[in-house]
Amino acid sequence: MLGNDHLHIDENDLIADWIVKAMKSATSGTIKIDMENKPAAQIDVSKDKIAVNLLQPAFFRAPDDETGIFDKLQTSKEFARKLTDNGLTLSILRRGKEAITLGNEAKPKLSKLITRSDDMQINSIKEATGLKRDFKADKEEEDDNSLELPKKYD
């Protein structure tokens, strides 16, 4: 449901509950997604952990998304809490490198200062900011890798 300028996930949100239950029902396997004859993403499921590897993150760009970073953070925190409550972990990778972990296995240290959540871990600030840039940037910005950040944030 939309509230306070972000997609709000409350305790009784039927859609979020359905998504989490569907995720929990998957016990193992791999899904590979190709776009334009190139691998775009790979989803690996192993028991209660789902790893989403965005091999070509630009394919998942949402150029018309005007949602602010803090609104996205709030929605992510709420979804991460649902995952933890159900014993699930969702790991987001950018081109094979861990960026963000949501849910049960998230062990935030310094990233807790940013997220204010025990259910979200920024594994790599470089990869997390890279995802943000990939989802929003145009082609020129996508090719600019001049920003060097530490490999591990936590």
What's the pLDDT score for residue 58? 77
What's the pLDDT score for residue 1? 43
Q: Is the pLDDT of residue 114 over 60?
A: yes
Q: Is the pLDDT of residue 117 over 80?
A: yes
pLDDT range class, residue 150, cuts 50, 70, 90: very low
Q: How far apart are CA 23 and CA 29, in angstroms?
A: 12
The answer to pTM > 0.85 is no
Q: How far apart are CA 4 and CA 117, in angstroms?
A: 19
Mean pLDDT of the chain: 79
pLDDT range class, residue 19, cuts 50, 70, 90: confident
Q: Is the pLDDT of residue 126 over 70?
A: yes
Structure-model confidence comparison of residues 7 and 131, the more confident one: 131
Q: What is the pLDDT of residues 41-99, one digit of tens each?
A: 999 999 899 999 999 887 777 666 666 666 777 778 888 999 999 999 999 999 999 99
Structure-model confidence comparison of residues 64 and 106, the more confident one: 106
CA distances from 146 to 39, 61, 87, 99, 123 (A): 25, 21, 38, 18, 20
